Amino acid sequence: MSPRLAVVATGFRGFARYLGGVLGSDAYAKYLEHHRATGHGLPPLSEREFWRDRTDRQDSNPQGRCC
């Protein structure tokens, strides 16, 4: 890979991570990181359980959402 192409690819990956953070697609990964760091005694939620819980909480408490 040429140096210029590597710079463009690195920039694109950074932008993709930023956009994923803004849209919340990295929420499950952040949850797992937090779960490990805080030393919970229970196993973490599965990804499906996590998203269902998150959606249910947002539906029951709609604040700061545009839609």
The pTM (predicted TM-score) of the whole model is 0.64
Q: What are the tens digits of pLDDT across the range 52-61? A: 999 898 888 8
User: 3-state class of 17 per DSSP?
Assistant: helix
Is pLDDT above 60 for 67?
Answer: no
Which helix H or strand E contains 13, and what residues bound it?
helix 3-23
Confidence of residue 37 (pLDDT cuts 50, 70, 90): very high
